Amino acid sequence: MSLTLNHKLNSISTTTDTLKLNAQLVFNNSGAIVLPEGNTSAQDPNATSGLLYNTGSSRVEQYYGSTW
């Protein structure tokens, strides 16, 4: 996996869909976290964990064990 840090754009990107951290992720600002969004069909049926902003219900959903 390749990890790219872009200080001019304040961005981090990878060549894969998954970025795994073995440390705390700390946000030192008053901004917001942008969650993936989609309707109920965007819920991953093979998820092991996750968060999704459901645009159909206007709610944040959490995958918990075996259900969204």
Task: For residues 4 and 13, give the distance between their C-alpha atoms in angstroms, rounded to a whole number.
Answer: 5
Q: Which domain holds residue 49?
A: 23-68
Strand 50-54 and strand 37-38: the pairing is parallel
- Number of independent structural domains in the chain: 1
- More confident position, 10 or 51: 51
Helices (H) and strands (E) in the chain, counts: 0, 5
pLDDT tens digit string along 11-57? 888 888 777 778 888 888 888 888 999 999 999 988 888 999 999 99
Query: Residue 2 domain-assigned?
Result: no
The predicted model scores a pTM of 0.62
Task: For residues 18 and 40, give the distance between their C-alpha atoms in angstroms, rounded to a whole number.
Answer: 21
Query: Residue 35 domain-assigned?
Result: yes
